[in-house]
Amino acid sequence: MHGVTLAEIQAARRRIAGQVTRTPLIRSATLSARFEAEVLLKLETLQPTGAFKLRGVVNMISALLERYGQQALAAGVTTASTGNHGRAVAYAAARLGVPAIICLSHQVPDNKVAAIEALGAEVRRIGDSQDEAFGEVARLVDEQGMTLIPPFDDSLIAAGQGTIGLELLDDAPDLDQVLVGLSGGGLLGGIGVALKASRPELEITGVSLSRGAAMHDSLLAGHPVEVEEVASLGDSLGGGIGLDNGCTFALVREVMDSHWRVSEAAIARAMVELLEDDKQFVEGAAAVGLAALNEHELDIRGRKVALILSGNGVSLETLDQARRLAGR
């Protein structure tokens, strides 16, 4: 059981109101014409931390404060992250005056490390994978009494991300399909619960990296498995789902209707196209929906389709790399 319900997502919406941006859903004229469809872009890039992760973090911290009071966070909060989640935890902790230690693997780009440190959190670089970084998180929780804010595998986190689904229904109630980056599963799972509660026929499409796709490999195996974490333009989609995953594995299995994997070249092309044609500055993980449409020539003619532009945590150096790979 994953424990994420429509009622929890509605409660999350009330908790995060005023603390998280209600992001716009805009029509892409270029993509709509190319695919002969109504293609909409959900701009989570406009969150204060530049990514959707703030929704889940604010929901979880707010819920903990409601239940246990300020004393629950007296020792501070900690997490491991591929970057965006850590930035969200640092931002929320700074606003609440709570100490924060963010553990990152050496795979996380330096620009994301700097963004977290700029918010006042302590950063610890541990190992070459998110799972290794979580070893330090476990020690901080056990020895220092810090509170873990998990990046995805928690019903409060997934419910916070699910508020995106409620906003999609408000702005495009006749939506046919949503393409969502798939990694730990909190984003896709939360959105899926919110949308399918009223539109069970709506297609939820996950998009993963071609290599190091932990959720993809776990779904094929029928249980959580470990994968080797590799460098990617879509680095936010890297990392494991945890062998003891208690929420998002079941959640993704329940709500996801279709799934595609995309190459580095396809991610690069999509990043460049979104910048040049739609003036959207996005990281690789935010471009995978368009990458799937391009690479797999998905037929969406006549449909209303939303792409979740999940974050903007990309350096100019990485964008130049994407341009070269895309031959632009």
Task: Please give the positions annotated as active site.
Answer: 53, 310
Distance CA 165, CA 306 (A): 11
Strands 258-262 and 203-209: parallel
Distance CA 124, CA 16 (A): 28
For the four alpha carbons of 196, 20, 51 and 211, in that order, the dihedral sign comes to negative
The tokens of 181 are what?
């980056």
Distance CA 223, CA 220 (A): 8
The set of residues, in sequence order, having a beta carbon less than 8 Å from that of 7 and lying 6+ positions away, is: none
The tokens of 319 are what?
């964008």
Greatest CA separation for the chain: 57
C-alpha 30, offset from chain centre: 25
Please report where in the chains the tokens 């931002």 appear, as a residue: 91
> Residue 125: exposed, middle, or buried by beta-carbon count in 10 A (0-12, 13-18, 19+)?
middle
